[in-house]
Every structure is written in structure tokens, then in C-alpha cells.
A and B are shown apart, each in its own frame.
Chain A
Amino acid sequence: MLLILDVLTTAAILFVTSIGLLAIFGVLKIINFAHGAWITIGAYCAVVAAKLGLNPWAAAPLAFVVGAALGGLAELFIIRPLYRRPLDAILATWGLGIVIGQLITLGFGRDVQFTPNLLPGAVQLLGVDYSAYRLVALGAALVIGAAFAFTIEGTRLGLSARAVIMNEALARGLGIDTARVRFVTFMIGAGLASLAGVLLTPLASVDPNMGVGWLIGAFMLVMVSNASFLALAAACLVFGAAQVLISAFVSPIFGSIAIAVLAAVTLRISPKGFSRA
């Protein structure tokens, strides 16, 4: 029972941390290597919110707005000129991530910051004591996933985004303002990354480099999902399960490299990864 809950909540946390990267990769066709920095920005929004004496949960919308606003600026000034040069975009976003990490270091110092716990304690569930917060994280992942699905399937923006994903030249020919779609998508992706940062604070330590580890996991997951968010959910579930089961039955040391190894193997066998499923 404990294992099933561990698998579900681990998958949920992976999903929350990689959905922002997936959104940007899907529409813009670039990997935002500053994704980890935006996760860090979100976590520091929680630090700032705590310093201002706000309710810890208020950090979540705050982080989304701050992340999206900074994402908008980054898109305008850094990403936009590089759409036709995806390799340069990797360099630019990776560099941007380093710059943001250093700016955070300058502002807050290198040390670990402490944030108030969003939801302490454990609850009884199906006969086991389980961390209340991890269950909330599971709920948050479902809500974010549903909202994302609704945006893609049920809104004008989602329709335009899907058109851009399928054939950008044709979409532009049909009068869709593709530049605006890219701009808004980048903002949403950055906002989601920051939101993930807040949701990580009860589980992770908040420091200027905290995002890097999550970026690597998210990158692997997005690579095997090939821009499909249902595939991402499936990949999170499978890889999360692998991580938990290997940690439980073999060794946590192998468990922590499970995602990277499995992603490589998956792409070797099936270049489209989970997106065919």
C-alpha cells in the first residue's frame, strides 16, 4: 500500500516539475534549460512570501505570476531572436539559468533557506500513515494536469497552440499570430515551473542550485514524451514507479539514476518514446 502511494505521489511530483518544460518544448520546439532556474525562482517566491508574513499557500499564485512575468521578459529579449537557431537557444537558456542562479545568490546568499511547511503531519489512509503533503501534491498534479488539458482542448489559445505544434507555417498562413502564441506559451511554461518550485518547498531544500536536479529529471521525461502531455503523465508514472521500486527493492542509489538510465534505454528502443502510446 505504502509502495502504491509512493509511486503515485512520486509520479505526481515528477509531473508537476516537468509540465512547464513540456509546454514550452511542445510549442516553441526549444528546450528551456532555464527551467530549473524558474523552479528556483518559484521556491524563493515562497521564501519572500514567508518574509512578508503571507499565508504559505499565497506563494503559489504569487510564484505563478512572477514566473510568468519573468518568463515573458525572457521570451521577448532572449528567446525570440533564437527561434530559428535551436542550438543557440540551448546555450542561451542554459546561460540564463546560470545568471538567474547567481542573481539569486547575490540577493539571498548561497545558503539553504527555510520556508514554513505548507501542510505538516501525516494522515491515516487505507490503513497506513501517510504524509499529508504528498497527497496534496498528488491532488495538485491532477488539478494542474486537468487545467492544462482544458487549456489545450477547450480554449482558443489551446487550439492555436495545437495548430502551431502541428504545422507552424500553415498556422501562420491561416492568420494565427504565432509569435503571440509562442510568447503566451513561454509565460505559461515559466509560470508552471515557478509554481512547481513552491510545491517543492516542503520536500526539498531551497537553495540557489535546487532547480538543476529537477531540470535534468524533467528534461529526460520530456524527451521521452515528445511534446504530448498524456505521454508525459504516462512517462512520470512508469519512471516514478521504476524509481520507487528500484529504491525499495534494490538500492536507493540505483533508484536515483533510474530515470536517466530508463530514458536513454527507452529512446534507444523507441525514438518516439511514450508518445506513441
Chain B
Amino acid sequence: MSKRHLIGAAAALVLAVSPARAEDPIVIGVPVGLSGANSVVAPSVVQSAELAVEEINAKGGVLGRQLKLEVADDASGAAGAQKAFDSLIYQKKVDVLISMETSAARNAGLPAVTKGRTPYIYTSFYEGRSCNKNLFVNAWVPEQQVPPVVDAFAKEKGAKTYFLIGSDYAFGRGMLAFTRQYIEKTGGKIVGEEYLPMDGSDWTAIISKLKEAKPDALITSTAGGAPNVTLTKQLRGAGVSLPYANLAVDEGTAKSMGADAEGIYLSASYVTGVDSAENKAFLAAMEKKFGAGLKTPNDLSVPQYEAIYLYKAAVEKAGGTETAKVLEALPTVSFIGPRGTISMNKQHHAPLTMYLGQVQGDGSVKVISAFKDVDPGEQCPKLK
């Protein structure tokens, strides 16, 4: 065979292979903070994504195509996210991005999402009002999370004065801005509001201010992971024992913090104790797949699991992975997952059932009350 024939054969081969795109896997990009502030919780998010993909693939995939995960570390911050999003969108050519990330990372990644016209399902609770044609959110916003905590403190603890502490970034400030607004609306008073940079670890001065302000209750909203751990350690070290709600703690972190976390109030759309058949099946499947290496499923990892199913439903409804059609289908589909029926039908956000819990001495979370289908409110009035 001559050289020319060889080239011709190769070209024919390429031509023969490329139209077979329907056989290619659907690639799901997961930019996530494997290092940095989110490193405590990110492994659990990856695990639940792996389970969803395995379950869907075992049942024949989506429209006959298998799902494939591409995980990229965004180092929990803006700079890492830009790289992670760029490489996922432009090099790995993912069909969709589904991930839990810090707000800084999400905001840094959004321009690439817009430019690359990639659907993006954000699965982390956040400060709200991030609006983008390509962006859907299936986790809670302040309007869903804060009221249960403040109402419980006001009713059960008779709290009138509050102190707020946060990390200085979009989530910390956004959460506490809403908290302040809600407390003041319901007749409470803020006696202090303090922030520390995300990489700060010395809360000394803030804790001293807290002690001097003598509030009835404390509400904190730090970045998950390291800042949350240092603040809680130093609060307990300083002997702070007033009613304390942590808007950023998840069950897994609470468990590993041990005695330091005891008594903390948290408000979440998922706790492992949710009593439903879907949740029990999910927990059993996770246990079976990961065994001793299982990271406790939590309010960040479960939305990730459900989001992959929501994407599957949208692709099936759209009849393919074409962005415009998928974006049209996403708000119309729903999935019954461990957290109940999830549908991102409210301005790209989802009504959710919220639970008020308290961390027990053994690290488990006791559900104190549940609030059914809490509405996310006006998040993105310009999106339908």
C-alpha cells in the first residue's frame, strides 16, 4: 500500500469515527474544591456524583449513551476555578457542569460558562441572586435557610439581640446581609457584625468583641472547612456558650469536629436522618459502594447526586445534549431524591423542604423541626 493510500485510509477512518458521536459518553464536568477551604466536603460530593453516574450507567445510560465524570480541582477559589472551568469546557469539552463550589469559584467560572455555552447546575447552597441563562441551582438560598433558625431562636430562646460573624466573601456577606434584614424585620437587634478574610485564622479580636457585646445568640456564616473549624475551635476555647447557629456547617464537618460542635444549630435541606424510602435507598447504596471509605453524605453532596438525575431527565426530554434544548427542559423536569421532589422551576432555583437540627454530643444531627417546600423567593426575576 502506498503512502497516499495510507493517508486516505486514515482519513476514511476519521470520517467513519466522527459521526458515531451518539456512541460517545456524555461528559459531566465537576469543578470542585479538592484543596483549600472546601477540601473537607469535596470528597463526599465526588462520591455522590460517582454513585449517580454508576446507577444511571447500570440502567443503560441516558438516551443510550453512558455518563462520564471529569473531576477538576478548583482549589476552592477564583484563580483555580478559572483554570478548572477553562480546561473542562475547552479541553475536555464537557456537555454540562454540575458542581458544588465556593461562591468565589462559581463567580469566577461563570464567564467561561457563558462563553462556552455550557449548561451549569450549581449544587451548593449559596448567598442567592446569581443569575445566568446557563445556570441552575438546586440547593438553598438565604430566604430558605435563615428564617427557621431566627424564628427558633426568637421563640424558644427568647433571643432579641444577635451577633453575626462571617468570612469576607460573597457567601459570608450575602448570608449575613439577609440574616440582618430578616432579624430586623422580625423585631430583633444586631449588636455586632464582623468579618475575617477567607484565609484568616485568628478570630481573637472578633471573639473578644462578641464577648463584650453580650448578645442573646450568635449566627455565623464562614466558608466551609478550615475557617469554620478555626472559628468553632476558638469560640469553644474562649468558653462561648450562647445559642449558636452555624449557617455553613454540614453534618460531616460537625461529626469530625467532635465535642467542639456540640449544641450548634444548623438549618439544612438535607440531614442523614431524613425519613424517606429514597433517602434510605440512597444511603444504603452509598454504604455499599464506598464501605469504610464513605464520606458522610450531606447537604452539599446530596444535591450533587440529584442534579445529575435532573440533568438526565432534561437530556431525555430535550432528546439530546444540545445546550439550548437542555436549558429549556431543565426547569420543567423533576426528580424524587433523598431530599424529596426537586424541581428547579422558580427562576432557576428550587423550592426545598428545610430542617432545623442541633448537633448532639456524638456528632449526629437531631432534627428539631421541618419546614415543607420553602420557596426560594425572588432570585432571578428576569429569568423565567
Give A residues with C-beta under 8 Å from B. Answer: 2-3, 6, 9-10, 13, 105, 109-112, 114, 116-117, 120-122, 128-134, 202-205, 207-210, 213, 243-244, 247-248, 251-253, 255-256
Contact = CB atoms under 8 A, between A and B. Distances in A.
A256 B39 contact: no
B202 A10 contact: yes
Given A2-B211, A205-B225, A120 B236 contact: yes
A165 B157 CA distance: 62
A260 B208 CA distance: 23
B238 interface: yes
Q: Is the interface of B mostly helix, strand, loop or mixed?
A: helix
Contacts of B211: 2, 128-129
Nearest to B252: A111
Interface residues of B, number: 39
Interface string B155-199: 000000000000010000000000000000000000000111101
B226 A110 contact: no
A219 to B, nearest CB: 16
B34 interface: yes
B17 interface: no
12 contacts: A10-B202, A120-B260, A131-B234, A134-B237, A202-B237, A203-B201, A203-B237, A205-B226, A205-B227, A209-B35, A248-B205, A253-B197
B303 interface: no
Contact of B197 (A112, A122, A256): A256
Contacts of B204: 6, 9-10, 134, 244, 247
Nearest to A1: B208
A203 to B, nearest CB: 6
B226 A112 contact: yes
Contact of B194 (A9, A112, A210, A252): A252
Contacts of B259: 117, 120
Given A111-B43, A209-B35, A252 B206 contact: yes
A88 B201 CA distance: 31
Nearest to A119: B237
A130 B39 contact: no
A51 to B, nearest CB: 13
A121 B239 contact: yes
A256 B239 CA distance: 23
Contacts of B209: 248
A204 B230 contact: yes
A134 B236 CA distance: 12
B104 interface: no
